[in-house]
Amino acid sequence: MKRLPALHVLFFAVYPVLFAYSRNAGEADLAQVALPFVTVVCGAAVLWVPALLVFRERTNASVALSLFLLWFFLYGHFAAVLRGAGLYMRPRYLLVVWTLPVLAAAAVIRWRRRPLPRLTSFLNAVSACLVALCLGSLALFGLTRRSAGRTADAEVASDPAHGVPAERPDIYYIILDRYAREDVLLGQYGYDNSEFLRYLGDKGFHVATAASANYPITPLSLASSLNMQHLVELAQRLGEDATDMLPLYTLCEDFAVWRFLQQRGYRYVHFGSGYSLTAHNPHANLNINLFALPDFWGILYHQTVLQPVLFNLKLYDHRHTKWRREVYEFDHLEAMCPGDQPLFVFAHFLTTHPPYVFRSDGSYVSEAAEAELPGKQRYAEQVEYANRRLRGFIDHAIASARVPPIIVLQADEGPYPLDFRSDRDDFDWRTATAAQFRQKFGILNACYAPRLPPGALYPAITPVNTFRVIFRHYFGAGLEPLPDTIYAFVDRLHMYKLHDVTDKARPAAPALPSPAGEEPRTP
């Protein structure tokens, strides 16, 4: 037993990486995981030497090293359990509570000095089971993953020699994540947004007063609007039980709207968010974003003790980084100047998406200060700040343009109903009430496009038709409007199990004039 190899050190080192990958395999590929995997193995090997020097005995040093790895990587899970139980504790105090038992256990191991072969056998068995469970989950996911193919509309891939107007306007597609429709803001948050909407109307925007998102989460919503297609066919190909989100990531990276504009000589400027889906686009001519941890590294970082340590040392705070990123991108968006080549600008802002880091005047809100604010006030202040920055951008974009630009302000989804609390991932949307559907799907949707004829835009237009209407009237594209259908899924584990909730989610069902101005059509 004294010669039993302490494999648990290796297993506990790789387990956090494998666990994170198994939970996020649908959003990450193997290439993203390789470097963190090698890093933790090499880190454990390096730490073995000081552990042996301190504890002097091989098995005891191995047990202590495994204890350190668990302490290092499981902090985030411990904090999440406390938050789920309604217990909030400042990071510095939570770190002390988490660390003291580990130090006590290490002191006992150091004082004992005698080998711990039985404990080594137990830790080997437990760690091997944990790794095996992760590998089994990944293997099952790999077996069930299906090829999604492309959903590009053949109508979009038209001859670039046609449909190129003499004056090509700059096009701004601004996504304001979870920015709610006016009636939702008033009813759910008690916030009157009419002043900003009047400003938009005075500037010449069409504000869709009955606007709804087509889908309840960002990946589905953007994959649909950026490709001007519903996702029913994609969902059928992947299967109702699929959890793979990489097809949606692909559709949001290489999308039909950009391919259409690229053929017509546009330059693509991408304003990235802190969310992996839109943080960076390799097809863009220019990416504008502050430093963000690579996707998978970020998942691991937020589970480790590095997060509270660097936060307390004021070396890295993800909340303050979000604040800096939003300010940075609004500043750069407002400073955009027209050039000789027409621009397509995509910008994804998380201002109205948790965590809420803004006061209405733009100052920073710490986590402790946010916890003291009423929930409705937190969200309302984000809306006020976003409105103020959008005014500056709109005034500059319209005043500086040689050709009147196209500006689309649109949310990809609305905020969750306040009574959802902690069950957002597990909530079964088949049980949602009409009020909950209207709260979640009601979005801001406003478009400045002066050359559109009357009736081209209508109160209940959904994002899937936004660029169909614009391309039809500005570029002569043969893109017929699609039904403004609204889809919900069953839950986050069945995102492709879509069902039509149009009648429940829409606040009203007015007659919708067709883009061509012929007979009115209904949803």
Over residues 5-40, the pLDDT tens digits come to 788 999 999 999 999 888 877 677 677 788 899 999
Instruction: State residue 317's pLDDT score.
Output: 81
Task: Print burial letters for 178-191: b (CB count within 10 Å at least 16), e (below 16).
Answer: bbbbbebbeebbeb
- Enter the tokens of residue 375: 């929930």
Instruction: State residue 147's pLDDT score.
Output: 53
- The answer as to whether 491 is a domain residue is yes
Other residues' Cβ atoms within 10 Å of the Cβ of residue 522: 10
- The answer as to whether 165 is a domain residue is no
CATH number at residue 252: 3.40.720.10
- Enter the tokens of residue 412: 């990809």
Reply yes or no on whether the pLDDT at 520 is more than 50: no
Domains contained in the chain, number: 2
Instruction: State residue 162's pLDDT score.
Output: 55
Band the pLDDT of 368: cuts 50, 70, 90: confident
48, 112, 345 from 266: Cα distances, Å: 55, 71, 10
Q: Based on the domain organization, do 116 and 196 belong to the same domain?
A: no
Q: Based on the domain organization, do 418 and 275 belong to the same domain?
A: yes
Q: Based on the domain organization, do 323 and 183 belong to the same domain?
A: yes
Map 181-212 to HEC letters: CHHHHHHHHCCCCHHHHHHHHHHCCEECCCCE
Instruction: State residue 315's pLDDT score.
Output: 74
Q: Based on the domain organization, do 323 and 429 belong to the same domain?
A: yes
- Enter the tokens of residue 248: 């949606």
Q: Based on the domain organization, do 236 and 101 belong to the same domain?
A: no
Other residues' Cβ atoms within 10 Å of the Cβ of residue 62: 27
Mean pLDDT of 455-462: 95
Which residue do the tokens 């004082």 mark? 111
- Where in 226-278 does DSSP place strands (E)? 267-271
Mean pLDDT of 395-405: 94
Which residue do the tokens 């500056």 mark? 392
Do residues 253 and 283 lie in contact, with contact meaning Cβ atoms separated by under 8 Å? yes
Which of 107-111, 180-184, 412-416 bottoms out in mean pLDDT, i.e. has the lowest?
Answer: 107-111
Do residues 279 and 496 lie in contact, with contact meaning Cβ atoms separated by under 8 Å? no
Of 100, 128, 144, the position where a domain reaches its end is: 144
Supply the mean pLDDT for the chain. Answer: 87
Reply yes or no on whether the pLDDT at 196 is more than 70: yes
Q: Which residue has the higher pLDDT, 409 or 106?
A: 409
Range of the domain at 391: 171-505
Cis peptide preceding 355, ω within 30 of 0: yes
- The answer as to whether 155 is a domain residue is no
- The answer as to whether 406 is a domain residue is yes
- Enter the tokens of residue 175: 């996504």
Crossing angle of helices 58-73 and 117-144, rounded to 10°: 40
Q: Based on the domain organization, do 131 and 269 belong to the same domain?
A: no
Task: Print burial letters for 392-408: b (CB count within 10 Å at least 16), e (below 16).
Answer: ebbeebeeeeeebbbbb
Q: Based on the domain organization, do 207 and 87 belong to the same domain?
A: no
Instruction: State residue 512's pLDDT score.
Output: 42
Q: Based on the domain organization, do 199 and 93 belong to the same domain?
A: no
Q: Which of 57, 64, 65, 88 is nearest to 13 (CA)?
A: 65
- DSSP per position, 458-484: -TT--GGGHHHHHHHHHS----PPPP-
Q: Based on the domain organization, do 105 and 182 belong to the same domain?
A: no
Considering 39-53, 96-110, 402-416, the range whose residues carry the highest mean pLDDT is 402-416
Do residues 211 and 447 lie in contact, with contact meaning Cβ atoms separated by under 8 Å? no
- The answer as to whether 311 is a domain residue is yes
Q: Which residue has the higher pLDDT, 412 or 431?
A: 412
- The answer as to whether 441 is a domain residue is yes
Query: Could you give the CA distance from residue 311 to residue 304 in angstroms, rounded to a whole number?
Result: 12
Query: Could you give the CA distance from residue 448 to residue 409 in angstroms, rounded to a whole number?
Result: 9
Q: Based on the domain organization, do 264 and 124 belong to the same domain?
A: no
Query: Could you give the CA distance from residue 375 to residue 144 in angstroms, rounded to a whole number?
Result: 40
* Amino acid residing at 50: P
Band the pLDDT of 95: cuts 50, 70, 90: confident
Q: Which of 72, 64, 69 is nearest to 119 (CA)?
A: 64
Q: Based on the domain organization, do 138 and 178 belong to the same domain?
A: no
- The answer as to whether 162 is a domain residue is no
Mean pLDDT of 237-252: 88
- The answer as to whether 520 is a domain residue is no
Q: Based on the domain organization, do 276 and 175 belong to the same domain?
A: yes
